[in-house]
Structure 1
Amino acid sequence: MGPRKALVRRWKALGYSQERLAQDLGVDTTTVGRWGRGQGEPQAYIRPKLAKRLQLTLPELDELLKPETPEPVILPAVRKAQGVLVRRTASDNDLGTGDLDEMIRREFLGLLTVTGTLAALPITSEAVPADHPLTASANHEVAAYTAMNSHLWQIFALAKTKRTVLPMVQSHARYVADTLATVRTEHERQQLCAVVGDLFQLAGEIHFDSNNYTDAAQSYTLAASAGREARNPDLSACALTRHAFVSIYENRPRDAASLLVAAAETAKRGDRQLSTRHWVAAVQAEVFASLGDLSACKRALDRAEEVHELSGPVQNGGWLRFDGSRLAEERGTCYVRLGRLDLAELSLTDALGQPMSMRRRGSVLAELATIGIQKRNIDQLVSYASQAVDLAAQTKSGYVVRKLEGLQVQLQSLPSDGRVTALNDQITALSVNA
């Protein structure tokens, strides 16, 4: 089946990239890519939304989805040079992803591949003595890179729009990759792998917030591997836990459960004074809630609560940020999934009274709006959802938009009401402009 060039040209003409269209439709970027290449078709429930995005009737969309005559595929030549990433020339096969965000994404994924390969390479040169000037220089570079990672996490935490941090992360990753290509000792390689594991967890967070789940998963996979190479179980366990969130938000709780089992086992070998294993338990609780297992969910939440028994610094503000302060909202999310609305509302209302980021507040408000739908309380729904819409518009957080889109699906179950109709239109506009 040949590529559907007419379909691709249509979304390009309307200003969509493959990634942006996937975000608006709530599907993976690779899914839209398969549609454009003629390797699959949108499912029935997606077609009306796709037709609306492309400003087509359903029959007109069906015409664009018809298979075309296959054309010969010509693969571009690939030039290889040590430490140099060669970018491919854009063409129709790029499926309309030539905008700035997509260019940054492509470069970053290429850099991720290069960095992952370098992190896995063994040291073949002779060991450098501990007192050698090169060793002192390497230690200085590692310290500088670690400090920069910490600085980038702070910028990420404060940024209203998380995706704006990605170019800075990408630039920093290039320097780390260049240094990885010249490491001389196993110790230096382990230290740099720890830097990589930290940096690419941040990259994954940025992609996750933009609903770029495929890119987030790739970043987390490299981060987990780098953590193993660095012999840092906590670093690796946190990356696996973040990877599990991708499966959770793609409605694959059993896949998430498998990742979290691996994360929990890895965390057992980590620092007992850190909160890693408690964070794993908190995320496991959400998975058990998705699977409808109330008892297992409560046990996991109780294990997570034990973080309050730890003394001293339990997190580092970067790849490990769990200190138990979010447990109220996490309990609320679990109870919403389990249908325990009274318990959920108590926890989420309590969470709203605590200091939190705009992104987290938007998520909590969306959960409270969901409770309003389930209780058929339109006043509660509109009040909380409108606040969430405002925060999503300010932060441009794909994470909050995705929650609101899930809320939007449930609006259809409500009786006709002008306020609900207006809210539905607001969420649609937010999805288009996200």
Structure 2
Amino acid sequence: MSRRPLTYSYIEHLRWYTLDRRQELAARREAMGFTQESLAQKLGVEASTVGRWERGTLTPQPWRRPRIASELKLSLAELDALLNPSTSGAAPADATISRRDVMRDTALLTGTVLAHRWLPAGTVAEASSDGAALQGLPSTTAAVTRLHETYQAARYAEVAGALSTVADAITALMSTSQGQERRQALILRCSAAVVEAKLATKTGDGAAARVAAERAKAAADDADDPFGQAAAAYQMTCALLKLDQAAVAEELAVGAAASMTGDDPRRISWAGALTLIAAIIAARRNDLATARGRLDTAQRLADRLGRDTNIGYTAFGPTNVTIHRMSAAVALDDPYQLLATSERLDLMRMPTGLRGRRAQFHLDSAWAHTQIDEDALAVLHLLETDRIAPEIVYTSRTAHNLIRDLMARERRRDVPGLRELAIRTGVAA
């Protein structure tokens, strides 16, 4: 179903709610003695990012807000008020669009999903309150492990709330460690930056994902850690795809995969993961032969590994190769191939905790059934995605488009649960 066009009047509404109403955020920065450049340096972002926050064309991701609030000497509630000013003032005379509509289109225009819309109230404060407990290498290592596991469980709000605290703990560790302990701290810095890049990619912020991936690579280079370098390359590939730089992303993924040679299971896993994303990129440019060749290469790597694993949080193994074959079929617009492939899949073989991967299977299946007018089966898969990983349904543009398409058909009475799902995800009022 096509979206209504954005008219000039609509853009003016958008400006009224965001662009012209974040002047107090800029004023607070200036009052604290920061230029956009100096605040950006403190926060580890580009100066242009701070400018976009103040202009209202970008909203800071939830995990960044504790750091921003700290630098500006604000509470999280006060920062939120500056980011979302009161709308009690008079709107333009021709105002006919709800604030909810405006905010939804703000997300689409900036390429983000406005993660704060699904972040439960108080999550950031609660997740950040245990910072004192993160002292020393063992507790910080455990915290980074939890970040990855929580992300793979598709609990993105939890990850967002904890990132800042973990980053601060790693910075503190870096300031006191030497020798081998410092190398381990660098590896942790890389690993945490990888999680940050994943989350930024998930919410559609390619620029933030690239900055985080660059930070991951710098730490991995300093630690001389080939597996951190592979992880950073993977996340940079994802960021470049979000920034519409598919050719550069593909070259990076293929090169990084080629560098992972040998029989070490970690090398096999990273070679496989990078080969899989390269296969999806080929499928997106409709190069069936290259996509299939890379998927077959990944299959051989998975067979060498011999089992489904989660080494380096890659989730790589035979089952994940099959899931990527399904995703390639989506890119190639071939629902029948996807459904045929899905029949060979046994999700129970995957390691526990990989809810994001399981949800991807159901989301791709929902797409296929929607394409061939099997609405009831499509809705069942969407509902299962919502049960397994609700935050994926709330943040995925693919899920929203599927729900919107299914709602547009005259079959809603035959697909129980669709209307309620549409309301929960904000697709329908």
Residue 227 of structure 1, aligned match among 210, 220, 223: 220
2: CA distance, partners of 1:248 / 1:97: 20
Q: Does 1:261 align with 2:254?
A: yes
Query: 1:406–1:343: structure 2 CA closer, same or farther, 3 Å change rule?
Result: same
| 8 Å Cα contact 2:362/2:384 also seen in 1 | yes
Query: RMSD in angstroms over aligned alpha carbons?
Result: 4.6
Displacement after TM superposition at 1:101 (Å)? 6.0
Q: Any conservation in 2 of the 1:366–1:384 contact (CA below 8 Å)?
A: yes
Residue 401 (structure 1) aligns with:
396
Q: 1:418 to 1:166 in 2, by over 3 A?
A: closer
Q: Aligned residues: percent identity? A: 17
Choose the corresponding residue for 1:242, options 235, 238, 251: 235
Structure 2 CA distance for aligned equivalents of residues 147 and 338 of structure 1: 40
Q: Does 1:295 align with 2:289?
A: yes
* Number of equivalent positions: 344
Q: Which amino acid aligns with 1:404?
A: A
2:103 is the counterpart of 1:103: no
Contact 1:359 1:395 in 2 (8 A): no
Mapped partners of 1:261, 1:107: distance in 2: 40
Mapped partners of 1:360, 1:46: distance in 2: 29
Taking the aligned partners of 1:231 and 1:314, their CA distance within structure 2 comes to: 28
Q: TM-score, normalised by structure 2?
A: 0.64
Deviates more, 1:319-328 or 1:423-432: 423-432
CA contact (8 A) 2:152 2:356 kept: no
C-alpha distance in 2 between matches for 1:191 and 1:235: 11
Deviation at 1:236?
0.9
Gaps of 5+ in 1: 1-44, 51-57, 111-139
> Cα deviations across residues 191-225 of structure 1 (Å, max 9, x unaligned)?
32212111221222333344444333322221122
Q: Deviations over 1:207-258 (max 9, x none)?
A: 3344444333322221122212211222211221123234445665334313
Map of 1:24-423 to 2, 5 A cutoff?
48=5, 58=7, 60-64=9-13, 76=30, 77-78=33-34, 93=54, 95=56, 103-104=65-66, 106=68, 141-142=136-137, 144-158=139-153, 161-185=155-179, 187-248=180-241, 252-268=245-261, 271=264, 274=267, 275-310=269-304, 317-351=311-345, 353-354=347-348, 357-388=354-385, 390-391=386-387, 395-397=390-392, 401-408=396-403, 416-419=410-413, 423=418
Give the Cα separation in 2 of the matches to 1:269 and 1:109.
Answer: 46
Going from structure 1 to structure 2, the CA distance change for 1:180 and 1:102 (only over 3 Å counts) comes to closer
Instruction: For 1:78, give the aligned amino acid.
Output: F
Contact residue 335 and residue 369 of structure 2 kept, 8 A: no
* Higher RCO (C-alpha 8 Å, min separation 6): 1
Please identify the structure whose Cα radius of gyration is greater. Answer: 1
Change (3 A) 1:295 1:154: same
Distance change in 2, residues 1:313/1:169 (3 Å): farther
Give the secondary structure class of the aligned counterpart of 1:310.
helix
Distance 1:66 1:152 in 2: 36
CA pair 293-66 structure 1, distance change in 2 beyond 3 A: same
| Contact 1:369–1:380 (Cα < 8 Å) also in 2 | yes
Cα drift, residue 173 of structure 1: 1.6
